[in-house]
Every structure is written in structure tokens, then in C-alpha cells.
Amino acid sequence: MYLSTKMLLYNLLAKGIILLFFLMTGPFLLKYFALMDIDAELKDKRDQILAIISENGMEDFFVGNDSPGGFGSYNILKEEYVLLERLEDPFLLDSIFNEERILDKVTVSYRVCAYVFSFEDETYLMEIGKSLETINRIFDLLFRIIIFLLLAFLVLSFFLDTIFSKWLIQPFRKIIRDKIAHINEPQQFKHEPVKTSTKDFRLLDDSISHMMWRIQKAFNQERVFISHASHELKTPVSILQTKIEAFFGDETLNEREMERLMDMQQTIQKLKKIINSLLLLSKVNNAQYLKTETVPLHELVQELVEEWEPLAEDRNLELNLEIRDEFDAKSSNGSLCHIMIQNALSNAMKYSYKGSTIKLVGRLGPDEYQLLVLNEGPAISDELMDQVASGLVFLKDAKKESSGYGLQIIYKIASFLGVGVRVESNSSGTKFIFCFPVT
Amino acid sequence: MRVLLVEDEKLLADEFLFYLEKDQIICDWASSYANASEALAVNEYDFVFLDLGLPDGDGLDLLSESKKHQKHALIIILTARSDIKDRVKGLEMGADDYLSKPFSFLELKARMQAILRRKSGWNKEEINIGGFILDLDSWTVRYQAEKIVLTKKEFSLLHFLLLHSNRVINRFQLAEHIWGDHLEDDYQSNYIDVHIKNIRKKLGNFASVDWLETVRGVGYKIKT
């Protein structure tokens, strides 16, 4: 998953958690603070009434009252009430609680502040109540407003965060797209610094560029070395080759001398092939080939089959071509593709049982195009497979008079071209599977 | 025909001169950049064979001089260098072909002929051998009015042998001509016999192919 996607998801998740937390705790907190506020208001009113009583006495409440033992007053909408009651049996009370009252057959919930106090040798109970209906309405309204504001904030901040994080990691994406994605092709690496004011990205970009500069330097040194080694190795072989060729042109040579000359030619030929194979491997390792061609694989395989068919017939082998889908390998190298597939086919021809069939299958999968070369013949030993796949050791197949570079060349070219290669070998035969990426 | 060979290896140059002079070709040899530069400025050549690795300069620079002084000369780069960039650069700078060392003189001769044909405007060219006509433009063979179907490799082999008629061409030379260098081992040289067998079979249906001789244990020869 890309960093930007992760950041986006984190952003969403974090905000979702915040919203959920508020939804779960918000009502309780709001209610708690609303009640605290009401309690403070009730206490304040209690103190005001006590101050009035202390100043004016109880006459204002009890004189002319229909019930001489108590006083009660509700405002018109029954939102608040004050109640004073003379107690015959005194007790202590200073409490705030919720209580439901039935007034005109309507149940009303009140927050009640109850307080017992003494005044002029009498004990009174004072209750000040405030309807909770209003509070609940205000609370609901407040909660909705807060939720709306919170949602608006979350959506807005999500978009802002997304835009900001995209802008923030843009240099990082550029580093990945233009630099890290090309580290396998050091010669094509571009050293232009990525524009960024973020120190971390600057450091990353500089470090990658420096590392690639060192790799490029090493590659260039290796290329010069390969070029010189090639010159030093090939020139003496050229001299030998030309001298032998000159002998071949001599018509006075007898049959025995010709045979000896042929032996020498064979040795030189082997030497040439070894040098060429080693140079090919070195050049592939050193990324000296271009990958700019579009290679129509179906055509390439068709061409190879046509080339090799007479030889297969001579060995009593059947070449069976089954191209289910056509495919163009993009950003590839036709010559290297040819060598790679030809080596697999050559290997199949060499190790097939007489009278058997070699199948070449091309099929398109969801992510890759698979090219299979299947033959019926003895298995390649596990030891050889491991060593070739690890790319560390070349093995000479003494029994088959083979240099062992063929498999190595297949692996190296495949790796260079970004082609996946699998070799499955058992007693019934060997299967080379080349997986070309579709994108 | 007069050619200039720019090559610093004396032993190789000696063989080169011997081979070309045998074919009545006048050959000048320059062993260094300085000598080559002088020869290019003074003489006129039909072909310039240019080695890139010279002791006193880069052969690619000589290529520019060749193009300047030898407007009609055909240039073939001969080098043991492996860098593909050199090859691309050489061809971009106007070289007509590129032959990697070690090469066979027979291959060089084939390339020279191919370049001459190309440069001369793709004139229709046919070769007759024993009544069989090889059309080098269409890569087809016919006998009288009958068209004979040969594969590309078979045609290439027959043409190569014909280019070097009356000379024994060994299997390795033939294999290298049609397969190049990149097969794993010498296994493909055995396939030459298969191709020759097929050529004989296909042509033999129309007329005798006695002119295509087998030299036992060595290779083949076309006798004209």
C-alpha cells in the first residue's frame, strides 16, 4: 500500500475514532456540565431566598397564604417553583436531586434543591425546582449543533489534511517514481535534485543520488574493464583464428592435416564461445544493453520454431507451438529475448528423448504473459538448478560436453529484462516458464 | 580495389594483408592513429577497416576523419571492444558495418559484398549454380521456372558457400555465419549437416547437386 493511501486511511480512521468517542461520551459530559450549571443556579437562588427571609422574615411567605404550614409558588409555565414548608419534626437535609411532579395531570421532571433550615425557632424545608424539560431541549439542540460542527470540522479537516499530505509527500513520490524505480538501471539514473523544502526528503534524495553516483562510477569502471578485457582476450584469439583460416585455404593440405586443423579450430571455437558467453554475462550484469524495444513475443517464438524445425525433425522430435494469446513485451531488448528463449529451446532440444515432443506455449494471465518451453527428458539436477539460480557458480556438465553457461545466460537476461523465470524439472521432463510483466 | 587497414596488432594485420592481397586487393596498413590519419588524408580508398582500440587515439575519432576525407569509402569497424555504446556510436557516425573480433575473413568478405550490393542501389543480383538461380533480393531459389522453397538459414548457408566457392568452409565457420555467437556450445555446428542434407534433398529433386561437396570431418565446399 502506498504511503499516501496509508496516510489517507489513518486520517479517516483517526477522525472516525474521535467522532465515535464524542458520540459515546458527549451526551454524558454535556448532561453532567448542564446539571452542574443548574445546581449552581439553584444554590444561588436558595441563597437569595435565604437572604430575603433573613431580611424580611417569613411573613411575606406565610401571611395571607391559604395553607398556613407551607408556601408554594410556580411560574406560569411551571418551569420553576419555590416551596417553603414548616416542619413539625425537624431533620437535616441539604441535597440536590431529580424528581418528577404531577401538575395538572402532567408529569414534569424537576431538578430540585432541597434544604432544611431554622428561622426564629422554627424549622423549614425549602425546595427550589427547575424543570428539566427546557434543559433537555437545550441539551438536544446543543448536541445537534456540536455534532454538526464536529462533522463539518472533520470533513473539512479531512480534505485539508488530504491535500496537505499529498502536497507534503509529493517530493517523496517524485523520488520514488523518478529515482528509486530506476535504481536497476544506473546508467539511466537522473541526478537532478527533487525540489523540496522538507529536510528529510532532501536528505533521502541526496543519499540516493550519491549512492547511485557511486554505483554508476563502479559500473563505468566495470564497463571499461570489460571493454579492455574483451580487447585483450579477443585480439590473440583473432590472430589464431586468422592463421588457422589461412591454413584452411591451403589446398595442398592432406586429410590428416585437415583433421588436426579442425581440432584446433574446434578449440578456438570453444575459447571464443566461452569469452563471448562471459562477456555477455558481464555486459548484462553491467546493464550495457538498451531496453527500448517492443518485442512481439509470438512472432519471435514463431521465428525460432521455424529456424529449429528442420533440426528437430532430424532428431525425430516434434516442435509443437501453441500461442493462445499474442503479446508485445514493452521496454525490452529483442536480441536478448531471442538469446534467452533460444537457449531454453536449445536446452530442450539437447535433453529431449528421441521421438518426444517439445511444446512452446504462450498464454496471457491476469498479471503476466507466460511463455513455456516444455520437453520430455532427463531432469536437470537439483544441485545445478540451485547453483544456477543463485548465480554464484558455473557448473560444467562434463557428460554433455556443455559449458553450463546456457542456463546462467537465461537467468541473467531474464533478471535484466525484468522477466520472471522458473525452471521445473523432474524425471518426466523440464519446464521453463518465462513470465513477462503485462504492464 | 584499394583498402586501408587500421590495426595495431601486427600479427593480425599480417594475416589480413595476406588474405586480401591474395584476392588482388591493394591493402595499406596503418598501425597507429597518426599513420591512419595521414593515409586517409593522402590516398583514396574503397574500404576502410577500422580498429577502435589504437595506442595513440580513439578509432571513433578516425571515423570522422574518414568521413571527411574519404567520402566514397565504405567503412567497417573491426573491434574487440565489447561496449555496445561504441557500436551504436560508430554506426551513428556513419560506419557501414561493424564486425566484432574474433571474426572470420570469410565473414568479412560476405559483409563487404553485402555492403557493396546495398550501396550500389540494390541492383537485382542472381547467382547461377548448376542451373539453380539464387535471387539475392528475394532470397529465393528457382530451377528453370520452378520455385524451390528454402528456409532462411538454408538460403544463407548456400549463399555463404557460394561466396567462397572452391574453398573448404568448415562447420564452425558456417555455424557462426548463420547462428552468431550466443548459443551455449558447439552443438549447433552439428546442425549444419542437417541443413546441408535438407538443401541437397530440396535441390536434388530438380537436378544433380554434385557441386556441393562434403569434405569429410571438416565441412563443405562448392565446386564451380
Residues of B in contact with A406 (CB under 8 A): 183-185
Is residue B108 domain-shared with residue B142, that is, in the same domain?
no
Are B181 and A347 in contact (CB < 8 Å)?
no
Is residue A299 domain-shared with residue A402, that is, in the same domain?
yes
* Contact in structure between B129 and B199 (CB atoms under 8 Å): no
Structure-block grid coordinates of residue A274: 566461452
Q: What is the dihedral of CA A172, A177, A181, A186, to 10 degrees?
A: -90
Decide if pLDDT at A15 tops 60. Answer: yes
How many whole angstroms separate alpha carbon B177 and alpha carbon B160?
A: 8
Structure-block grid coordinates of residue A375: 520437453
Structure-block grid coordinates of residue A220: 563505468
Does residue A160 sit within a domain? no
Does residue A145 sit within a domain? no
Is residue A329 domain-shared with residue A413, that is, in the same domain?
yes
B82 touches chain A (CB under 8 A): yes
* Mean pLDDT score across all residues of chain A: 84
Is residue A417 domain-shared with residue A331, that is, in the same domain?
yes
Does residue A173 sit within a domain? no
Does a cis peptide bond (omega within 30 degrees of 0) precede residue A186? no
Where among B91, B119, B147 does a domain terminate?
B119
Is residue B8 domain-shared with residue B108, that is, in the same domain?
yes
pLDDT value for B186 = 53
Decide if pLDDT at B112 tops 70. Answer: yes
Which residue type does A10 have? Answer: Y
Cα separation of the two ends of chain A:
18
B82 pLDDT tier (thresholds 50, 70, 90): low
Domain with B57 in it: 2-119
Task: Locate the DSSP E strands across chain B.
Answer: 2-6, 26-30, 47-51, 53-54, 57-58, 74-79, 97-100, 126-129, 132-135, 140-143, 146-148, 169-170, 212-215, 219-222
How many whole angstroms separate alpha carbon A72 and alpha carbon A83?
A: 4
We report the CATH number of the domain holding residue B208 as 1.10.10.10
Is residue B132 domain-shared with residue B217, that is, in the same domain?
yes
Is residue B144 domain-shared with residue B87, that is, in the same domain?
no
Helix (H, G, I), strand (E, B) or coil at A150: helix
Is residue A428 domain-shared with residue A383, that is, in the same domain?
yes
Among B15, B100, B189, the residue with its CB nearest the CB of A239 is B15
**Of chain A residues 196-225, which have a CB less than 8 A from chain B?**
223
The angle, 0 to 180 degrees and rounded to 10, between the axes of the packed helices B105-119 and B171-179 is 40
Residue A293: strand pairing partners:
A332
Is residue A324 domain-shared with residue A361, that is, in the same domain?
yes
Question: Per this entry, what is the length of chain B?
Answer: 224
Is residue B154 domain-shared with residue B171, that is, in the same domain?
yes
Where among B81, B103, B119 does a domain terminate?
B119
Cβ burial, residue A107 (10 Å; 0-12/13-18/19+): exposed
Is residue B18 domain-shared with residue B45, that is, in the same domain?
yes
pLDDT in tens, B135-160: 887 888 999 889 998 888 889 899 98
Where among A267, A285, A303 does a domain terminate?
A285
Does residue A149 sit within a domain? no
In chain A, what is the greatest distance between 2 CA atoms, to the nearest angstrom?
Answer: 158
* Contact in structure between A278 and A316 (CB atoms under 8 Å): no
Decide if pLDDT at A295 tops 90. Answer: yes
Rg (CA), chain B: 19
How many pairs of residues across A and B have Cβ atoms under 8 Å apart?
Answer: 146
* Contact in structure between A28 and A36 (CB atoms under 8 Å): no
pLDDT in tens, A302-311: 988 988 888 8
How many whole angstroms separate alpha carbon A134 and alpha carbon A137?
A: 5
A392 pLDDT tier (thresholds 50, 70, 90): low
Does residue A180 sit within a domain? no
CA neighbor of A202 nearest in space, from A175, A234, A183: A175
We report the CATH number of the domain holding residue A337 as 3.30.565.10
We report the CATH number of the domain holding residue A244 as 1.10.287
**Of chain B residues 126-165, which have a CB less than 8 A from chain A?**
151-154
- Looking up cell 459515546 gives A24
**Mean pLDDT highest for which of A89-93, A103-107, A407-411, B211-215?**
B211-215
In chain B, what is the greatest distance between 2 CA atoms, to the nearest angstrom?
Answer: 58
Q: Mark B183-219 as b/e (b = at least 16 C-beta within 10 Å).
A: bbbbbbbebbbbbbebbeebbeebeebebbeebeebb
Q: How many domains does chain B have?
A: 2
CA neighbor of B159 nearest in space, from B126, B208, B192: B126
* Contact in structure between B115 and B96 (CB atoms under 8 Å): yes
Could you report the predicted ipTM of this complex, rounded to two decimals?
A: 0.70
Is residue A420 domain-shared with residue A333, that is, in the same domain?
yes
Is residue B131 domain-shared with residue B53, that is, in the same domain?
no
How many whole angstroms separate alpha carbon B150 and alpha carbon B105?
A: 26
Among B102, B183, B194, the residue with its CB nearest the CB of A310 is B194
Does residue A357 sit within a domain? yes
CA distance to partner chain A, nearest, from residue B124 (Å) = 26
Among A240, A258, A350, the residue with its CB nearest the CB of B218 is A258
B103 touches chain A (CB under 8 A): yes
Residues of A in contact with B151 (CB under 8 A): 306-307, 310
B179 touches chain A (CB under 8 A): no
Are A238 and B182 in contact (CB < 8 Å)?
no
Domain with A57 in it: 3-138
Percent of chain B with pLDDT over 70: 91
Decide if pLDDT at B26 tops 50. Answer: yes
We report the CATH number of the domain holding residue B92 as 3.40.50.2300
Structure-block grid coordinates of residue A116: 432544611
Is residue A211 domain-shared with residue A132, that is, in the same domain?
no
How large is the average pLDDT for residues A32-57?
A: 89
How many whole angstroms separate alpha carbon B188 and alpha carbon B167?
A: 22
Does residue A336 sit within a domain? yes
How large is the average pLDDT for residues A140-167?
A: 87
Does residue A59 sit within a domain? yes
How large is the average pLDDT for residues A79-89?
A: 86
Decide if pLDDT at A257 tops 60. Answer: yes
Decide if pLDDT at B111 tops 90. Answer: no
* Contact in structure between A4 and A161 (CB atoms under 8 Å): no
Backbone angles phi, psi at A289, to 5 degrees: -100, 150
Is residue A253 domain-shared with residue A301, that is, in the same domain?
no
B16 touches chain A (CB under 8 A): yes
pLDDT value for A73 = 78
Decide if pLDDT at A337 tops 90. Answer: yes
- Looking up cell 584499394 gives B2
Helix (H, G, I), strand (E, B) or coil at B32: coil
Decide if pLDDT at A174 tops 80. Answer: yes
B201 touches chain A (CB under 8 A): no
**Of chain B residues 31-60, which have a CB less than 8 A from chain A?**
53
Decide if pLDDT at A398 tops 50. Answer: no
Is residue B87 domain-shared with residue B18, that is, in the same domain?
yes
How large is the average pLDDT for residues A408-424?
A: 89
A406 touches chain B (CB under 8 A): yes
Q: How many domains does chain A have?
A: 3
Cα separation of the two ends of chain B:
24
Where among A113, A138, A163 does a domain terminate?
A138
Residues of A in contact with B186 (CB under 8 A): 266, 269-270, 273
Cβ burial, residue B60 (10 Å; 0-12/13-18/19+): middle
* Contact in structure between A359 and A322 (CB atoms under 8 Å): yes
Decide if pLDDT at A263 tops 80. Answer: yes
B182 touches chain A (CB under 8 A): yes
Is residue A239 domain-shared with residue A123, that is, in the same domain?
no
Is residue B156 domain-shared with residue B94, that is, in the same domain?
no
Is residue A30 domain-shared with residue A91, that is, in the same domain?
yes
Is residue B111 domain-shared with residue B159, that is, in the same domain?
no
How many whole angstroms separate alpha carbon B72 and alpha carbon B85?
A: 25
Is residue A323 domain-shared with residue A256, that is, in the same domain?
no
pLDDT value for A221 = 86
Higher pLDDT, A243 or B211: B211
B125 touches chain A (CB under 8 A): no
* Contact in structure between A289 and A283 (CB atoms under 8 Å): yes
Is residue A323 domain-shared with residue A222, that is, in the same domain?
no
Is residue B134 domain-shared with residue B198, that is, in the same domain?
yes
Whether pTM > 0.90 for this model: the answer is: no
Residues of A in contact with B103 (CB under 8 A): 238, 241
- Looking up cell 571493454 gives A227
Rg (CA), chain A: 46
Backbone angles phi, psi at A80, to 5 degrees: -140, 150
Is residue B93 domain-shared with residue B154, that is, in the same domain?
no
CA distance to partner chain B, nearest, from residue A266 (Å) = 7
A116 pLDDT tier (thresholds 50, 70, 90): very high
Where among B102, B119, B136 does a domain terminate?
B119
